[in-house]
Structures are given as structure tokens and as C-alpha cells.
Amino acid sequence: MASVCFYFQVHQPYRLRHYSVFDSDNNYFDDYKNGEICRKVANKCYLPANRLILDLIHRYNGQFKVSYAITGVALDQFEEYCPEVLSTFHALADTGCVEFISETYYHSLSFLYSKDEFAHQVRMHRKRIQELFGQTPRIFRNTELIYNNELAEYINDMGYEGIICEGADHIMGFRSPNYVYTPPGQNNIKMLTKNYRLSDDIAFRFSNQDWAEWPLTAPKFANWVHDVNGNGFTVNLFMDYETLGEHQWEDTGIFDFLNHMPGEVLKHPDNDFKTPSEVIDSYDAMGDLNVPYMISWADMERDLSAWLGNAMQSNALYEIYQLEGAVKATGDESLIEDWRKLQTSDHFYYMCTKWFADGDVHKYFNPYDSPYDSYINFMNVMDNLQSRCRNAAGKVEQNKSHKMVTPQ
Amino acid sequence: MRVLMLGWEFPPFISGGLGTACYGLTRAMSQLGTEVIFVLPRPVSSEYSTHVKMTSPTNLGIDISSFDLLDEKDFSNVTFRAVRSSLQPYQTPQSYNEMLENITKQSIFSSHQVQTGQENMENLHGQPGHYGEDLYQEVQRYARLATVIARDEDFDVIHAHDWMTYPAGIAVSAMSGKPLVAHIHSTEFDRSGESVNQMVYDIERQGLHYANKVIAVSHLTKNIVASRYSVSEEKISVVYNAIERNGTVLNVPKTNRISKDEKIVLFLGRITMQKGPEYFLAAAKKVIDVMDNVKFVMAGSGDLIKRTIELAAEMGIGHKVLFTGFLRGDDVDKVFRMADLFVMPSVSEPFGLVPLEALRNDVPVIISKQSGVAEVLTHALKVDFWDINEMANKIIAVLKHPPLSVTLQQHGNFEVRKLSWKDAAEHCIKAYDSVLCCA
């Protein structure tokens, strides 16, 4: 039996506007650009891909299944800038063949800095998914598949039954990513590991004409999937949803590929499609997978260096989480929301100076000319946020002393 | 291969990128085994000929110049030929006239390596020691003298650096039939904005068109050469400048850094329209409005120095802006060691070597987007020269956030080490090959 398990990551950050040290207002985000990008990606990817997947689900009578992790900030932006994307996700949810996966609402790195904040964001996201799609997620994935044993334990304690992580070579060793595992000492939560070779064949290499396997056709890919039979249960194809139509443009044939792939896979009676929950329900764990240190799905290193690789990044992250107490003490909802939107990992990814090996990917997603510009911009916003906290604290003090004075 | 290089006096006796580039390129070519006959103008001693420290004790008219200080083995394939001429880099017709008044007349031609040819020269011109009446005439006179030297030399290609040597390059090429490579380090549009000197432009244009190949120091310059001088793009190669790896500064231990309470933002370069000193001041004013412990240092001299000092006073920031005058040698290193940030707000900078020196000294840099060096540096902050708000924004960020400064320093220093004159020389040799195969 070989089950294809699709999980698509859907995310759009709130990009910052150009915010100079001379600015003093509270409008940090580039509403125009965020709306424009959302609509652009909706037209190139989300809408046509959702329609196609809906069509495939109907065509194969519910045998085709997928799962999504849609960040809270992406959902918020769809709601604001292109509600039709949300309605197509609703239609997908109604088929019963689509699973929604939990993560942090703000696509943040909070697990590394504040467990309280992390748990809060996970709950926020879960609630949003319940409200929107009427599902309670059973599976969790952390921002950019950042993962270690500790996270699995924490997520297990939060009541999740499955967790998604990168099937990095240095973690898997001799093991195959095509089985289900458990974290060491945890029998209640199962791990789904990304088959990065087959995932990246679609996500990165699909249109690469220098690739020996180019062009990648649906029958060829279905054969590779079929080859897993006897050597695994599940082929975990985890990738950015924007792969469809945005990273791989329509003219590469990516939609045609997706259109024909389910039919080819299902030709072999041994194969099927499963959602992550179905995978953990169907297959027993094959053993422990020990991940003592942090891994991710980014770059060649599969580590945290895309967000924590230089002094600017660690400084910016340190500064924002250091503000947690002060921000929350203000009780100011809009201030707290701004602070949370600033936690989105993309802001720190833009500051990455590790350009030389992975330059293309980083530049493609970067709205700034340089990592330095992004750090300067971020720190200017942080400065303003800090002064808002100070002002709020000052007002609280004032009110207190005021109250103490008036009774006399 | 033998190259007749029409170049300029080397640092530290001269300031500016032209001499530095000639030094770096020639040394690298020599090390690559390319023979170079290095011809250069060398004025008689006067207060204006800054490179001449002292005339020699003998009466032979031999000057002590930077060449006496060179490491022989670095230049084993180079023969130096000096022409007694008052040409200096970055001269304008006006500055030439002023200089001429100050010059004492001496013999026409000297060199500590060349004895032959002197008689020829005297016979040819009859009147030793007469410089041209104006810059135009001097440039033409230099061209005639250069052909006299070239007559006795054997070479395959001529390489001329900037417009003042183009007439010489053309003349030698015409006489010898050897191809000319015109290297352009700055155009008249960079130096003078839109108020170009027609004479200079004409000479530049003539040289660029006559040349079999043009070497531009950046794509920025290549585009100017193509659009303003109508030179076809295929004829132009881009060869970026570089920086010496083993400069003196690397020997300076970090602990020698000057300790101070104040942050120092440095401008270093000629104080001329091209370098954008008024934008530096305007940004400084904005920074000073919101920061206390910062001083702005302007190192250099130039025709706008007086105006710039006055401007600082008018803006009310005179007490925060220090002018050092022209710096050289150790003083340059010292000012780099004091600086927390180097800013190059050039209006038009064909390349811009100073940011590389700053980075080599572990000083982070802000450079104008209107510079060639912006094409090769990724670990530098970049602004439009006119965008003083953004310039101030970035200055403040570097001064305020040590992680930014540290990241810029570390990556910048590493990046600069990848720029080598050897690569630049190899590219030049490739350009020679391209004209030789078609010649």
C-alpha cells in the first residue's frame, strides 16, 4: 500500500511599509502592497488551484484527498482582500476530503522564545479553523517545519495526535520517510516526515530543464510513488501551496501535471490518497525518531540559520520577545496585534545574509533590496512599538496616582 | 605580451582612484608575467606637485617619487618612463592655469631609469621645460612626448587611463599601428554634471571612438559611455577596481582603535560637486536633530571646501561637523580607525574605491546607488544620493544598532577580500587579447 499524503502550506505575511526613524504613526503595514500581492497570488495560485482540487475530488468520488495549513494571517488577509479565496476553501472543506492542520496563527518562531505566546497562537489558530471550516485539527505543524523532540512533547500535551516534520537526511539516517514514527518516549503522537525528494521534485525541480528527469509527467511521478510499495506506507508530499501557479508558473504545465497525477496514481489498485489524520489512523509507528536539536525545511542546511543566522536576526527576535510582558501589560488590543504580526517569521527571513548558496530563493521572496534594509525597517517599527508600550505604562501610572489622589 | 601603459603616479604620493588603480593593475600584471612599459607625467617640484617629496641631492633632475619605494620584485616586469609634464589627475582647465603660474620651469624630461631618449627629446622640442599654456596644449604636448618614448619601445598594445592620456594613446597608436585600449575611470559627466567642458568631452569622445576597446570601471560608466558618447556596447568591457589585500591597515591591532564617547560618521574624498558634500551635511543635520553623541568628519579638500564649511555653519551644525583637510598615509588609517560609519553620498561615482578601504578597515559603509561600487558590494547600505531622509535613517540605524554594524563589518570585510587586482588584470589582458586577435 502506498498512500499519497498531500499537505500544502498557505501563507502570506503582513509586509511592513517603509518605516523610517522619523516616522511616528502606528501604521506599520503596507496595506496596498499586501492587498496587491494577495490578489495577484489568488489569481495565479489559490483560485485556480482550489478549483482544480475541488474538481479532482469530485472526479474521483472522494478518493483524492489533500490537507492544508493556512496561517491565521493568510486567512485574515483573504478575508480582507480576496474573500472569494475563502469561499473556495469553504467549498473544499465541505467535501470532507480536505483536512486542515494547526499551526501558530502568526506563522511565528514563538516556540523558540515564549511557550506561553506559542500556546496562545496555536489556540487562536485552532479556534479560527473551527469557526471557518467546522473541523478541529488533530495534526500540528510548526512554522517552516521547525521541530525537535521538545516541540513534539509540548504538542502532545496540547492534545494533538500527529505532527509534521522535515525528513532531513541527518535525522532519518537509514530510515525511510515513508513510514510513520513516534518521538522518543512518546507513544501518543505520531510523526509524519516529509519525503523531500519527491516533494522537491514538484516544488523546486518541476520546471528545471537542466534536471535529468525533466519534463516531469504524471505517469512518471505515479511510477515513483508506486515504487514505494514494499518499502513504505505513505509518500508525504509537503510543499508551499504557492508552488502551484506562483513558484511554478502555469505555463510550466504544473496544473496539467496535478490534473493528471491522481488518475495515474489511482491506476495502481495498491495506491490511494490519504489526509494526515488518515495516515496516522491507518499505520502503526515503525519506531522512534530522535530529533534532539532544531530542524526545519529551509535551505540546504535544514536548520534555523535562515532566521537566526546572523547578529541582526537574533537581535531582532530577542528584542521582540523581550517586549512580551510590556506589550501584554498594556491590554491594548491593537498594540498586541501589531506585536504579534511582527512575529511572523518572514520578517526575520528577510534579514538573512546567507545569500550565496541559497540566494535565489531568498531574493525571490524578499520585498527589500537587502537584508540590512529589512532589519533597519523592522527595528524602527520596534522602536515605535516600544514607545507605545512606555506611553501606555505611563498612562496607567498616571491613572493610578490620579485615583489615589481623588478620594482625598 | 608587452603593454605600453599610459598611466599615473602611484599612491601614496597622489590621491584618488586613478593612481591607485594604475598601481594595482600594473603590479598584478607584472605578477602575471605581462611586461609593462609604464609611461606617466611627472611634474617638476612645486607645492602643487604633491607626489614629489624632495629633489634628489644630485643635479640630474631626478626626483624621489613613489617608484623609489616600490618593492622591486612586485614590479619586475615593469619599466617606468616619466615624461616631464605638469598633468595631474582630476585637473580642470581652471585648476591647470592656476597651477601653471606656480610652476618653476625645469628640464623637459627626466627619469631615473631612462637615460636614452633625452637628447632626442631636447632636439625635438628645442626648448626644454615649457609646459603647455593651457590644459589642452599640455595634453597635446604630453602626447607628442609620449610618442618619442614609444618610438624606442617594443610593445603589442597601448593602454591609456582617462582622457588626459587619450591624445597620447591615439598618437602612439597612429605612429606604431598598435591597438589602443582606452580605460575610463570617470567621464566628464561624472565630474561636472550637465555643465560639461566641451574640450574635455571632445577629447574623451575622440579617444573612446578611436580605441579598439574601451574598459569601463562599472556598468554605470559603461552605460554613460554608450549613451552619452555613442560608443557601441560591444566595444565596452566592464572591469571593476579592486583593493590590495595586504594593506598596512591589517597590521593595526584592533586595540589601537581610538576610544571615544562619541560616534563618528566619516566623509572621505574630494569635496567637489561630484562627491555630494551638501547631501552629507543635509543628512547630518537630520541625524543631529534626533541624536546627541555624534560627530561628522569631512576629510578631504576640493573646490567646494569653503562653501561646504560655510554651509555647515549656516545650517547651525558647525560645532558637530569637523573638517580635517586633505589626509594621506597614516592619517587616513587613523581617521578610519576613529570612524563608526563611512558615507559616500556621491552624485555620480564611476566606481568609488574609498568604501572598499573603509570595509577593509572594518568600517561599515553607506554608498549612493549612483556609484559603480554599488554593483559589486552587497554588504553595504545603499541610498539615492538625494534621499537625505533615507540617508539619515540609515546613519541612525548603524549608530544605534550594534548588530547591524557588526553584520555589515563582518560580511563587508569578507566581501572586499574577494575583489582582487589580479582578477582585474586578467580581465584587462582578456581585453588586450580581444583587440590583438582582430588586429
> How does DSSP assign A271-304, residue by residue?
EEE--HHHHHHHS-EEEE----S-B-SSTTTTSS
Residue B206: name the closest of B265, B164, B267, B156 by CA.
B164
Residues A321 and A271 in one domain: no
Q: Bin A369: left if φ > 0, else alpha if -120 < ψ < 50, else beta.
A: alpha
Classify residue A295: in a domain, yes or no: no
Residues A281 and A310 in one domain: no
In chain B, which residue's Cα lies nearest the Cα of A318?
A: B403
Residues B307 and B238 in one domain: no
Residues A331 and A209 in one domain: no
Residue B367's φ and ψ, nearest 5 degrees, are -125, 155
In chain A, which residue's Cα lies nearest the Cα of B378?
A: A370
In chain B, which residue's Cα lies nearest the Cα of A378?
A: B397
Residues A312 and A261 in one domain: no
CB A1 within 8 A of CB A272: yes
Q: Identify the DSSP state of A42.
A: I
Q: Report residue B320 as a C-alpha cell.
A: 558637530
Separation between Cα atoms, residue B50 and residue B95, nearest integer Å? 14
CB A345 within 8 A of CB A109: yes
Separation between Cα atoms, residue A230 and residue A227, nearest integer Å? 8
- DSSP annotation string for B364-393: -EEEESSBGGGGT-SSSEEE-TT-HHHHHH
Residue A140: name the closest of A64, A69, A228, A213 by CA.
A69
Residue B109: name the closest of B119, B100, B99 by CA.
B119
Residue B295: name the closest of B318, B267, B265, B325 by CA.
B265
CB A100 within 8 A of CB A69: yes
CA A232 to chain centre: 26
Residues B274 and B152 in one domain: no
Question: Which residues in chain A touch residue B379, judged by CB atoms under 8 angstroms apart?
Answer: 353, 372
Residues A122 and A261 in one domain: yes
Separation between Cα atoms, residue A354 and residue A344, nearest integer Å? 19
Residues B131 and B214 in one domain: yes
Classify residue A147: in a domain, yes or no: yes
The answer to whether the CB atoms of A353 and B379 lie below 8 A apart is yes
pLDDT tens track of chain B, all 439 residues? 899 999 988 876 666 778 889 999 999 999 999 999 999 888 654 434 333 333 333 333 334 455 555 667 788 888 888 888 878 877 788 888 777 776 544 434 444 434 444 444 444 443 444 677 788 998 999 999 999 999 989 999 999 999 999 999 999 999 999 999 999 999 999 998 889 999 999 999 999 999 999 999 999 999 999 999 999 999 999 999 998 765 444 444 444 455 578 999 999 999 999 999 999 999 999 999 999 999 999 999 999 999 999 999 999 999 999 999 988 778 888 899 899 999 999 999 999 999 999 999 999 999 999 999 999 999 999 999 999 999 999 999 999 999 999 999 999 988 898 899 999 999 999 999 999 986 5
Q: Domain count of chain B? A: 2
Classify residue A301: in a domain, yes or no: no
Residue that has been written with the C-alpha cell 580581444 in this structure: B434
Residues B228 and B347 in one domain: no
Q: Report residue B8 as a C-alpha cell.
A: 599615473
Residues A36 and A133 in one domain: yes
CA A251 to chain centre: 26
To test the contact with chain B by mutation, choose from A360, A376, A386 the residue with the greatest count of B C-beta atoms within 10 A, namely A376
The answer to whether the CB atoms of A21 and B390 lie below 8 A apart is no
Residues A148 and A210 in one domain: yes
Classify residue A219: in a domain, yes or no: yes
Question: Which residues in chain B touch residue A316, judged by CB atoms under 8 angstroms apart?
Answer: 403
Classify residue A312: in a domain, yes or no: yes
Containing structural domain, residue B294 = 248-416
Give me the helix-helix angle, B402-416 and A311-322, nearest 10°: 170
Question: Which residues in chain B touch residue A375, judged by CB atoms under 8 angstroms apart?
Answer: 397, 401, 403-404, 407
Residues B175 and B307 in one domain: no
Residues A368 and A275 in one domain: no
Q: Which of A240, A261, A288 is the last residue of a domain?
A: A288
Residues B212 and B98 in one domain: yes
Residues A255 and A321 in one domain: no
Q: Which of A223, A256, A288 is the last residue of a domain?
A: A288
Residues A318 and A194 in one domain: no
Residues A208 and A122 in one domain: yes
Classify residue A217: in a domain, yes or no: yes
Q: Domain count of chain A? A: 2
Which of the following is catalytic: A99, A103, A117, A144? A144
The answer to whether the CB atoms of A380 and B390 lie below 8 A apart is no
Q: Which CATH number characterizes residue B325's domain?
A: 3.40.50.2000
Residues B304 and B377 in one domain: yes
pLDDT tens digits for range A21-35: 999 999 999 999 999
A333 tagged catalytic: no
Containing structural domain, residue A337 = 306-405
pLDDT tens digits for range B142-191: 999 999 999 989 999 999 999 999 999 999 999 999 999 999 999 999 99
Residue B397 sits at the chain A interface (C-beta within 8 Å): yes
Residues A363 and A223 in one domain: no
The answer to whether the CB atoms of A20 and B404 lie below 8 A apart is no
Question: Which residues in chain B touch residue A312, judged by CB atoms under 8 angstroms apart?
Answer: 401, 403-404, 407
Q: Which CATH number characterizes residue A267's domain?
A: 3.20.110.20
Residues B274 and B358 in one domain: yes
Residues B238 and B276 in one domain: no
- DSSP annotation string for A220-277: HHHHHHHTTTTS-SEEEEEEEGGGEETTEEGGGTHHHHHHHHHHHHHHSTTEEE--HH
The set of residues, in sequence order, having a beta carbon less than 8 Å from that of B323 and lying 6+ positions away, is B298, B305, B308, B309
Which residue among A20, A310, A373 places its CB closest to the CB of B389?
A: A20
The answer to whether the CB atoms of B403 and A355 lie below 8 A apart is no
